[in-house]
A and B are shown apart, each in its own frame.
Chain A
Amino acid sequence: MTRSVAGLLVAGFGFGVPNAALSQETDRTALTNARIVTVEFGVIESGVVLIEDGRIAAVGANVDVPTGTTTIDVAGHTVYPGMVDSGTRLGLSEVGSDPRTQDFRENGNLTPHVKALTAVNPNSVLIPVTRVSGVLTALAEPTGGLFPGTAAFINLHGYTPEQMYVEGSSTMVMQFPVTGRRGSFDQRSDDDIEKASKEAMKTLNDMWDRAHLMARLESVYEADPEMERTTEYVPEVSALVPVVNGDMALMIVVNRAADIEKAIDWVQEREVALPIFSGCAEGWRVASKIAAAGIPCIVGPVQSLPTRASDRFDRAYANAGLLHKAGVKVALRTGESENVRNLPFHAGFAAAYGLGKEEALRAVTLNPAEIFGVAEHIGSISVGKLANLFVADGDPFETKTSIKYVFIEGHNIPMESRHTRLYDEFLNRSR
């Protein structure tokens, strides 16, 4: 294909080009002579990762590679589990300023029955740009009202949202009522702010009580299938039933110190079975309280400003490390869409400012898998898990490190994106 035709494809058919043309010679691939950072079981200085049917079939220094296996010698390089971003808009937003391409915010304060997964666009141009950086799984997260919907982990390859979905990762999102002023643009009076906060808590508690009632009714119906069902159709309440039953995690978006303390009390009073805090910008202020409550925190974006003008300049960088030191289980989020690819840099900053490299790696691999209850599928290089992994020529967070291979559910993903294609076309453009 000539350069100019390639250019036409890039420029003209961005939405239409499938995001990966996959190699599928065999369903068995071995990465050999690899340094393997398993995250869960230490480092293997030289070994083999055997991938079969999309999952990791064997890992170790001595692995028998069956004949007929596609073998890739990665000597000198390191294999890492795919990085996981625990809070993004990936797949839900294409062009930031264009509302027609944004699907992360549904109207309404109480929409727990909407699902981010529904709106994930598998052909988003942003997805290949992200995965070639080693970020292979992202939480597609709705935002908006008190209950904006369910979030879900998506693996960054697939032709349908279902193919991308990490089984069992659906998580209810709650935006904990924000007390106090939201920022300098918030011109409400103190009284109005107080009133709004009280109203929001009442709405939250009413919803929770109704969900409990619904759960009890449903358990009664379940016990006696003959009984006539008389409950109304209240989808927003029904959506919360798995949460109050403890079958689904509740991810509570909360940032200010005072709100975090209130959220801890609320979680304990309401006996929330699987609470997760997300955002946690001022988590460092109340770290020991969060640790005592045993609630894991999704922290980030790391590269952000301190929340208060009076705060030390590096508080956002240091937050994850301070929480970890206090005993809080930490995972990281970018909060991004087009630049989810920067997750390793957020992790690098967190590492440098106190979290340490090893914990930072856990915070973007195994920790989120465990926090969201999907460690059987993702988060480490371990037999039986999805073959989500990447091969790098160095430290995965170091800026200039080059990613050589990416595997998502065993697929050897082309290391291409709009960004690489434009580079290839224009580096030595004809005049």
Chain B
Amino acid sequence: MSAIRKWFEDRTGISTLIKFALDEPVHGGAKWSYIFGSGLIFLFILQAVTGIIMTAYYSPSATDAWGSVYYLQHKTSFGWFVRGIHHFGSSAMMILAIVHLFQVFIFGAYKKPRELNWISGVILLMVLAGFGLTGYLLPWDQKGYWATQVATNIMGTIPVIGKYIKIIHQGGSDYGNFTITRFYTLHVFLLPISLLSLVFVHLALFRKHGVTPYWKMREETIHKCVDPFWPDQVFKDIVFAIGMYAALAGWVFWQGGAELQAPADPASNYLARPEWYFLFLFQLLKYCQGPFLIVGTVIVPALAIAFLFALPFIDRNPSKWPSKRIPFFCGVFSGLAGVIALTFLAMHHDSQDFHIIKQHEEAEIQAALAVKLAAKGIAPSGGLSIFENDPLILGKKIYDSSCRVCHKVQGEGGDTGPDFTDFGSRGWVAGLLKNPKDARYFKEAALMPPTSLSDETLLDMSEFLLSQSGGLLNPNVERVAKGQELVLNGNCVICHAIGDKELKKLGPNLTTYLSKGWLNEFIKNPAAPKFYGTRNKMPPFDKLTDKEMDALIQYLFSLSKDSLIVSQRQEDVKEKLICFWTTQHKDIDRFWRQILMKG
């Protein structure tokens, strides 16, 4: 053994190097208060290891990024855990870096001759922020996409050069493939290289000047009481590292891994929120409106950073006692208090805002749905295609953009046209027959008079009318027969054609009323003579493709609880969604139960 070691030592000097690295005297003794710096090194290694293995799964392109992260998260055994460690590890690093900064500040370790040590540390903190910012976008999910938009727009507010800085980071005038490749280059090459070089400088300077002991410690104790770095300090560092990893792993399990939202949709109006450690900046921007925007985006952050850089040169008093540095303590801690207050305000506001809570819920449902749809495979056209290939979702999107202005669903939407809550259900049609002039239906525009027929009779007629489409859930044969009798031999056929698809009468042709074919023709041209003719008020939607029209009709069907095809489909989706949520949590529950039982 020692012969091998000697062989290597003679050729490489490796033992000497290790000895040099570990054999540092810690003046004043090893301390728990020195663990933060090495804790950061550990977290960086952890981020590097988890990050590197994730690059073996990640695909940096606007079409593939989400899918590859989805695969990592949901299709591999440890992907969710590794990604979770990396995701929450970044937060842990941020917290620890701040703690490290404050420990160094409180101990007065930035003072002469350690100015450059402090400055390299401040730059390292900014590099860390850069990591967080660039990494947030890489999954190309809704959250990352929209939050990063804010960040690049902030870059754009820098006077004169902002425009160019923004375009260089985005890789163009808008988000796309080059945004992702550039953020990827920054996140996995440029920032790590910068961080490593800076850490090297930071550590070399630290080795040169040594630790800065507690200010109360007397000079003679510092000289007399010397512990070796190995093992006295290393042991404390390792205990801290293992504690952090355990806490991090526990947190990842508790959270069920890092979140992956639905794929980025440039057409959506997602509410952008940055990662929590940027929330204070986000909140600050709320107070900087109009021409003052630049105060929040550039001036305040630049002043804060300038202050940190200048600190060792302003505070030239060699004494490390806090009582001798009261103005600086006030400055730094009021800065911290401001950041905490702004962060709290941002979180508090979001937790109280009904719209934001609702949007969070919607986003979670979308995310769960995305995961379910992606299991069937994602078309090469990109992550978003999973929704476009799902008719109900595409249909709702078309409805929201085209129909909602005039038609209400569940109290949301315009008032011009009929309310589409329960559209096409037995009750909806019966209500229409009862009084077309009702506020829920055609209001004053209706030509058809209200009727005094009983509700039961109206339901019979509704049953018959809807049964024509073949899509009615559990049609009641008796009611259909009764309704048919009433409709065909009653007053209805005076104004409405039933049976002949092309026949024109005063009112709309009701042959196969509300069937797929009927809706298709109607939506394309409601002003056709067989429908409303000259009395029509609805614009034609003839620009929709077949696929879009199909999706819209499917969505309209889905509004009715009495629709055969869609009711099954919806149950299916619902069931799977519930399954998704419960199994996710069940898995975690089971995991804990196993752990507890073993314990």
Is B truly associated with A? no
Chain A residues in contact with chain B, CB under 8 A?
none
